[in-house]
Structure formats: structure tokens, C-alpha cells
DNA sequence: GTTTGTGAAGTATTTCACAGCC
DNA sequence: GGCTGTGAAATACTTCACAAAC
């Protein structure tokens, strides 16, 4: 009869996850503005760029502190630094990659990660023919070394690019060796225990949800 | 004084977009169950697989009709067909791809699209060295032919895999030639006019929102 | 017995609107 | 005059809980 309500009616009004997911968007826009030499920006202007209401931006930021100045707006440089701080991006992060098939290789070669401080430092594959090969400067290791290697390097972020059939098993193993954030490219609704964060990259799902609005065509 | 409230207080209680975005997830799970030979499934069981409440699944489905039987559950085969119908997936869709760099090529070679009925039938690139080349059976066309070709083939879905600096411009051109659904891989907060649907694939954003929870490490 | 479909209740999230400050 | 930060109000979404159906 006594339910586990305790967990839900938490005392700390935790920052909503939707808010956290919007912060990188703000950060990116600020970086752009900064590169264009803009020094001050209002929530109004930010909202225009991002197609959202100024109030939402202000409310989101207010979860973390007071970063603006009445009558002026936000200092681009200052807000940018604060957001980086909040998101834990003032440091570099090591990332492990599992699966070096076509997709995995594309991910390794993708030039957009490193500039943002995410460095793929280890790669693993179940296929013995892949093991020992060098891809983008990284030597592919056997799955037998997964736990050992991830733990030894204290890697907390992993990218999963293995076939759907093996993804959950791989994810379970990653969780076991204390990986706390997983970016999953496999088209499965993966399950992870609470402390672990998971985000899915799934282009087919995205397409399938858009065709709903195209039915009439 | 008179605001454009009219648009918001619409009479039709439109299906919430969150609901539409969950349907493909249900569909995929049903396909799996079907392949395993399961014939009937309850919202309870579906919820377990997908880590969501049975009530949510039932409520989501109720926006579109009544597909279950009390005391039994849902016929996997029937619900699957209905969802395909609702999502507009009982037909095949032609897809145009803009940008055949490393990412674009990886997208063309990705084997997961065609089985779901999405066929990349045309590819475009601004680089003259790419134009005329054949990638995965498709001849890369010049950007000069974009409008002409997309319109001629009546393509309504496009994938954008060009550098960030050109993405918005490309998206604008796609919108002009009546593309109604865009899957954007460029790391920019792109803007599209209301009738057009946009989904972003952005691994860096996903990573940046997870590191928030890793700050303590 | 089981499970759906759904109003009503409960949460969560967004937007409003304004005091306070520059 | 312009803009932030924020309680309060409004809206959106989720979950409850139960009558109806099998």
C-alpha cells in the first residue's frame, strides 16, 4: 500500500530535464554571437534566433542564477562562460566508442566533437578482423578489453554504434564499468538504470514522426 | 489589442506533438513483438518494454481510435497496421539528400532507411568535384538543379548534411520547392515556416546536455 | 479474472505581467 | 525608455481510477 511516492515528491525542486536540454542550444547561439563580435544580448534577441519566447529563456536561466542586467541584457561572454560552467564543459571529456562499422567510423572521423571538448580515446569492436586496426589514430580493441580499458582510463561517456541486436548487451556492460552517459545510435529503446543518462540518435524515428504531418500529400 | 490568440485557442484539440513522436516507438516495438511471434500485447507489457506507464500508451492511442479489446489487450498485427496507417507509412517515401561529404555518404550507405520505406533518390552538392560522381547508385547533382529536380520528382522529404554555414540557406531553398519535412544534421538552430516540419540530429548537443549530470565526476 | 478507454485529478512546463533596476 | 527576474496564471501533459467489456 505504501508506494514509492517518496522518490517523486522530492524536496529539492530539481532543474527540469527539458531545461537542461535547452542550455546547450543557448550556449551555441552565444558562441555564434560572440564570434560575430556581439557583446550584449537580450532574451528578446536570443528568443528570436532560437524561435522561443524571451520569458522561457529568462526562466530557464533563473534556475541557475542571475546572469543579466536590467535595462541591458546579458553579457555574451559572461553568460557563455557561466553556461559552460553549469554544463560541465570547462573541461575536456574522454569518450569511448563501441562499434567501428561504417557508422562508428563516420563518428570517429566526424570533426565536430573535438572542438567541443569530446575526445574519442578508445574504440572497441566484436569483430576480430577489426581488432588491431587503426581508425582515425585509434587502435580498435577487442570487446574483451572493454571493462578493463574503460575503467583504467576512467571514461564516463560512451557512444554505442553496434547493431540493434547487441546494443542492450553492450549498454549493460558499459553501465557495469561506471559509464554514466551513453549516446546510443542503435535503433532500440534501450534501458539504463537511474544514475546513467542516455540519449538516442535515431534518424528513422525522426522521419517516421514527420510523415504523420505529410499524410495528406 | 486583439492578439493572434485565434491560432492558439484552436477548436480542434490537435494531437500533441509529443504523442506523435512516441508513435514510431510503439510501432517499432510492435514490429519486434510480431517478429517474435507474439500475437496479443497489453499496454502493461508494452509499457514494460518501453519504460513508460500503461496509461500513457492507452491515452496516446486513444487520440486516434479504439484499437484494443478489454480483458485481452491489443492485436499486435492489427495495431501495427493501424499505426503505420496513422503515420503515413503504408507508402514509400522519396527523400532528397543535400551534401555528400563524409556525413552525407554515410547517410546514403546507411542500410536502415530503405527497409522502413525511405528511399534516397537524389543527392546534391555544391562542390563541382562531387557533381557527376556516383554514390551508392545515385548520381550527385549540382545545387543548380536542386529546385528543378526536387519539384519534378515531387519529393517532400529532405536530409540536410551540409556545413553549418550553408545549412539555413539550403533549408530555405528546400522549403521554397515545397519540401515539407527536413531532417537536419547541421549543428544550427534552423528556422522553418509553420507548415514545414524539422527534426535535428545533433550528437554534440546530446552530449553537452548529459555532461550536466556528470559535473561531479 | 483481465484489460481497455477515458473523464477527472494531479504534475509539469510555459507564459504572463509587473516590480525593481539600469 | 529598456530589460531582467520571478511569483502567479495559464496551458500542456501525465497519471489515476473506474465503468464497461470480454
Q: Give the end-to-end CA distance of chain A in Å, rounded to a whole number.
A: 52
Q: How far apart are CA B153 and CA B208, in angstroms?
A: 39
Q: How far apart are CA B23 and CA A215, in angstroms?
A: 14
B positions 23-42 inside 8 Å of A (CB):
23-25, 27-29
Tens of pLDDT, residues B44-100: 999 999 999 999 999 999 999 999 999 999 999 999 999 999 999 999 999 999 999
Residues A75 and A128 in one domain: no
pTM for the model stands at 0.92
Residues B8 and B40 in one domain: yes
Q: Which strand (E) or helix (H) includes residue B40? A: strand B40-41
Phi, psi (deg, nearest 5) at residue A67: -110, -10
Q: Which domain holds residue B138?
A: 93-205
Work out the average pLDDT over B187-215.
96
- Tell me if B66 sits within 8 A of B31, measured CB to CB: no
Q: Which residue's alpha carbon is at the shortest distance from the C1' of D2?
A: A71
**Cell 553492450, residue?**
A170
- pLDDT at residue B10 in the model: 38
Residues B152 and B135 in one domain: yes
Per residue of chain A (217 residues), what is the pLDDT tens digit?
333 333 333 345 689 999 999 999 999 999 999 999 999 999 999 999 999 999 999 999 999 999 999 999 999 999 999 999 999 999 999 999 999 999 999 999 999 999 999 999 999 999 999 999 999 999 999 999 999 999 999 999 999 999 999 999 999 999 999 999 999 999 999 999 989 999 999 999 999 999 999 998 8
Residues B187 and B142 in one domain: yes
Question: What residues contact residue A138 under an 8 Å CB cut-off, 6+ apart?
Answer: A97, A108, A120, A121, A122, A123
Give whole-number Cα distances, A203 to B44, B99, B100, B112, B201, in Å.
27, 16, 17, 9, 7
Instruction: Specify which residues B160 forms β-bridges with.
Output: B98, B184
Per the structure, the residues numbered 39 to 98 in protein chain A that have their CB within 7 angstroms of any atom of strand D are: 42-44, 54-55, 58-59, 61-62, 66-74
Residues B60 and B147 in one domain: no
Residues A114 and A39 in one domain: no
| Min Cα separation B145/chain A (Å) | 23
CB-closest option in A25, A156, A203 to B189: A25
Q: Is the pLDDT of residue B170 over 80?
A: yes
Q: Which nucleotides of strand D lie within 7 A of protein CB?
A: 1-7, 11-17, 19-22
In chain B, how many domains are there? 2
- pLDDT at residue A1 in the model: 32
Residues A97 and A201 in one domain: yes
Radius of gyration of chain B (CA): 21
Comparing CA positions, the residue from B175, B177, B203, B204 lying closest to residue B190 is: B175
- pLDDT at residue B20 in the model: 98
For residue B41, give the CATH number of its domain.
Answer: 1.10.10.10
Q: Do A189 and B103 touch (CB under 8 A)?
A: no
Residues A161 and A108 in one domain: yes
- Tell me if A177 sits within 8 A of A203, measured CB to CB: no
Show the beta-strand stretches assigned E in A85-177.
Answer: 93-98, 118-125, 134-135, 138-142, 157-160
Tens of pLDDT, residues B11-34: 456 899 999 999 999 999 999 999
Query: Does A14 contact B at CB distance below 8 Å?
Result: no
Q: In terms of DSSP bridges, do strands B134-135 and B138-142 run parallel, antiparallel, or are they unpaired?
A: antiparallel
- CA triplet A95, A101, A103: central angle to 5 degrees? 70
Q: Is the pLDDT of residue B160 over 80?
A: yes
- pLDDT at residue B12 in the model: 54
Q: Give the end-to-end CA distance of chain B in Å, rounded to a whole number.
A: 52
Q: How far apart are CA A65 and CA A82, in angstroms?
A: 9
Q: Could you tell me if residue A99 is inside a domain?
A: yes
CB-closest option in B93, B106, B210 to A197: B210
Q: Is the pLDDT of residue B142 over 80?
A: yes
- pLDDT at residue A9 in the model: 38
- pLDDT at residue B13 in the model: 62
Q: How far apart are CA B145 and CA A159, in angstroms?
A: 37
Amino acid at each position: 500500500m505504501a508506494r514509492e511516492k517518496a522518490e517523486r515528491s522530492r524536496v529539492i525542486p530539481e532543474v527540469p530535464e527539458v531545461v537542461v536540454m535547452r542550455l546547450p542550444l543557448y550556449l551555441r547561439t552565444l558562441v555564434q554571437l560572440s564570434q560575430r563580435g556581439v557583446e550584449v544580448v537580450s532574451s528578446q534577441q536570443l528568443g528570436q534566433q532560437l524561435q522561443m519566447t524571451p520569458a522561457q529563456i529568462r526562466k530557464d536561466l533563473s534556475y541557475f542564477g542571475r546572469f543579466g542586467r536590467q535595462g541591458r541584457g546579458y553579457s555574451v561572454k559572461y553568460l557563455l562562460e557561466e553556461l559552460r560552467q553549469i554544463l560541465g564543459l570547462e573541461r575536456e571529456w574522454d569518450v569511448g566508442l563501441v562499434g567501428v562499422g561504417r557508422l562508428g567510423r563516420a563518428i570517429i572521423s566526424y570533426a565536430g566533437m573535438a572542438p567541443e571538448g569530446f575526445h574519442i580515446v578508445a574504440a572497441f569492436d566484436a569483430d576480430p578482423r577489426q581488432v588491431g586496426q587503426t581508425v582515425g589514430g585509434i587502435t580498435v580493441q577487442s570487446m574483451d578489453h572493454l571493462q578493463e580499458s574503460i575503467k583504467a582510463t576512467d571514461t564516463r561517456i560512451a557512444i554505442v554504434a553496434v547493431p540493434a541486436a547487441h546494443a542492450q548487451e553492450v549498454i549493460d556492460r558499459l553501465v557495469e564499468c561506471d559509464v554514466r552517459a551513453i549516446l546510443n545510435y542503435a535503433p532500440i529503446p534501450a534501458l539504463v538504470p537511474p544514475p546513467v543518462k542516455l540519449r538516442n540518435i535515431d534518424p528513422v524515428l525522426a522521419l517516421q514522426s514527420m510523415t504523420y504531418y505529410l499524410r495528406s500529400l
